[in-house]
Chains A and B, each alone.
Chain A
Amino acid sequence: MRVEGTTPLWIAVRILLAERGEDFFRRRDKALKTFDPEDIHDLRVSSRRLREGVALFAPCYSAGNIARLVRQMKQVTRLLGEIRNADEAILFFDALAEELGAGYSAELESISASFKKGRKKELKRLRSGLKEIGEDALSDLFRRVIHSPLLFDRQEDDVDLLTPLAQFAGEAMKERLAAVLRLLPAARQANEIETQHLLRIAVKHFRYRMEILHFLFGAHYEQLHEALKAYQDLLGKMHDLDVFAGIVQKAGLTYLTQKPLLDTITAKRGELFVDFSAMLETAPFEKIGDRMRYML
């Protein structure tokens, strides 16, 4: 059944969450078979999308049920995150070793080797963890919860599940946009690394929410979505460099080795920040918000 803006919320939530769930459980089964890094990454992204779907529609369900589901989903994302982080670090430090040449290759290869070793352990942990979530308990809980929206014992402040989806969606999107706009003034400052990290997370939530409700956005969806994706990619790369700088600082290197490595990372991050600042001019979030409000 196709969900539209006029679909009552109590029907729409079941269908939209079931779609997210199907995607997640299908990818879980695939990752369990292959343990391919790309499949693991796809599963991680799918788990994040599913969590955003659950967050989006949480007001339509009992708080206790949602809390139980979210707890289990978080375990899955965490399980998948460690191995992905190791993969990213290996890729970065191997590339950096090649870029900087023989002078730093021993140190960088040593950092990379420690992640490769850690990755093997993570893979083992992931295998047993994935088997655990491969059992039916999580999918049963998921199905039970999503098919029980709060149609009974409504309190005055509860969401009215008989309202059309579009009405609920408009407010839900504004909420995510507001979270982005709140962080923006500080994130424009180059040294506000922590705020830029928070902005990356806020943009990610905004994007995933938009993806779940994509059919409500009409013809300009692709354009808006591309803009958000570009922000997320850029902010993601900036954050990765912050993480890599931290790794270099903790690697026990001599000052003479550490400093040029940190300088290189800082320079790369500086370039990305320039790109970020330019993006804020060419595709301002305020404009994205205006378009979104117009479309919804």
Chain B
Amino acid sequence: MKLIVVRHAAAVERSSDVSEETRYLTPEGRVFFRKTARTMLKNGVEPGLILTSPLLRAVQTADILAEALAYSGPFVVRKELQPGFDMKGLGKLLDDYRSVDELVLVGHEPDLSTLVAYLTSRPGVFNFKKGAAVKLKIDPSNLPASTAFKWLAYGKKLVDSLDEAMAL
């Protein structure tokens, strides 16, 4: 299975007017993530399914991705992907969508860095930047041993070495 993990793009900060759930993408965040999405398109991303956290900034990121990829398939909002997403949550999602060949997850930090570090068996903090995407090849029945890092897309950049990706 191809697993593409996306961190939502830059969003406005929480304030008295904007709750955590309704923090929305800044114009710069949107522009930047469109570049990431185009890089993903150029590198053959064709999701079978897009799963997103229910929080607005993740939903908006998923929407930009779908538009850039001309994706008209289903979206599914999964609570597991909201802040606090962990390996148990990942296991549940992989169980539910085992037949999907290319799965996109849109979520939050620090969960996604922890997830990528675990799957790639690289201890330490993976610095998952806002509006970035990581593609992994996984075998859900043999995690994390089976995982292969494919690339990281960040704006126009595409990094295909895990070491370089970690240093970014």
Contact of B77 among A11, A143, A147 (CB under 8 A): A11
Bound Cα distance from A1 to B76, whole angstroms:
9
Bound Cα distance from A10 to B25, whole angstroms:
16
Residues in B52-105 with C-beta less than 8 Å from chain A: 54, 56, 59-60, 63, 66-67, 72, 74-77
Contact between chains at A162 and B63 (CB < 8 Å): no
Whether A151 touches B59, Cβ cut-off 8 Å, given contacts A8-B54, A162-B54, is yes
> Does A152 sit within 8 A of B, measured CB to CB?
yes
Contact between chains at B60 and A1 (CB < 8 Å): no
Contact between chains at B72 and A18 (CB < 8 Å): yes
Contact between chains at B74 and A152 (CB < 8 Å): no
Contact between chains at A1 and B74 (CB < 8 Å): yes
Contact between chains at A147 and B25 (CB < 8 Å): no
Whether A147 touches B59, Cβ cut-off 8 Å, given contacts A11-B77, A152-B25, A152-B30, is no
B77 → A minimal CB distance (Å): 6
Contact between chains at A162 and B72 (CB < 8 Å): no
Contact between chains at B75 and A151 (CB < 8 Å): no
Bound Cα distance from A151 to B33, whole angstroms:
15
Whether A8 touches B77, Cβ cut-off 8 Å, given contacts A143-B72, A148-B67, is yes
Bound Cα distance from A154 to B22, whole angstroms:
11
Bound Cα distance from A37 to B22, whole angstroms:
51
> Does B24 sit within 8 A of A, measured CB to CB?
yes
Residues of A within 8 A of B76 (CB): 1, 11
When each residue 73-91 of chain A gets 1 if its CB lies under 8 Å from chain B and 0 otherwise, what string results? 0000000000000000000
Bound Cα distance from A8 to B30, whole angstroms:
22
> Does A15 sit within 8 A of B, measured CB to CB?
yes
Residues of A within 8 A of B74 (CB): 1, 11, 15
Contact between chains at B56 and A11 (CB < 8 Å): no
Bound Cα distance from A32 to B22, whole angstroms:
47
Complex: chain B residue closest to A149, CB-CB: B63
How many residues of chain B get a CB closer than 8 Å to chain A's CBs? 17
Contact between chains at B30 and A147 (CB < 8 Å): no
Bound Cα distance from A21 to B75, whole angstroms:
18
Bound Cα distance from A14 to B75, whole angstroms:
10
A115 → B minimal CB distance (Å): 43
Residues of B within 8 A of A152 (CB): 24-25, 30, 60
Residues in A1-60 with C-beta less than 8 Å from chain B: 1, 8, 10-11, 14-15, 18
Whether A11 touches B75, Cβ cut-off 8 Å, given contacts A152-B60, A162-B59, is yes
Bound Cα distance from A229 to B76, whole angstroms:
34
Complex: chain B residue closest to A2, CB-CB: B74
Contact between chains at B72 and A151 (CB < 8 Å): no
Residues in A66-113 with C-beta less than 8 Å from chain B: none
Bound Cα distance from A148 to B63, whole angstroms:
8
Contact between chains at A147 and B60 (CB < 8 Å): no
Residues of A within 8 A of B77 (CB): 8, 11
Bound Cα distance from A18 to B25, whole angstroms:
27
List 25 A-B pairs, Cβ < 8 Å: A1-B74, A1-B76, A8-B59, A8-B77, A10-B59, A10-B63, A10-B75, A11-B74, A11-B75, A11-B77, A14-B75, A18-B72, A143-B72, A147-B66, A148-B67, A149-B63, A151-B59, A151-B60, A151-B63, A152-B25, A152-B30, A152-B60, A154-B24, A162-B21, A162-B54
Q: Which 10 A-B pairs have the closest CB atoms?
A: A1-B74, A151-B63, A11-B75, A151-B60, A8-B77, A147-B72, A162-B56, A152-B60, A151-B59, A10-B59
Known: A10-B75, A11-B75, A143-B72. 19 other contacts (CB 8 A): A1-B74, A8-B54, A8-B77, A10-B63, A11-B74, A11-B76, A11-B77, A14-B72, A15-B74, A18-B72, A147-B66, A147-B67, A147-B72, A148-B67, A149-B63, A151-B56, A151-B63, A162-B54, A162-B59
Interface residues of B (CB under 8 A from A): 21-22, 24-25, 30, 54, 56, 59-60, 63, 66-67, 72, 74-77
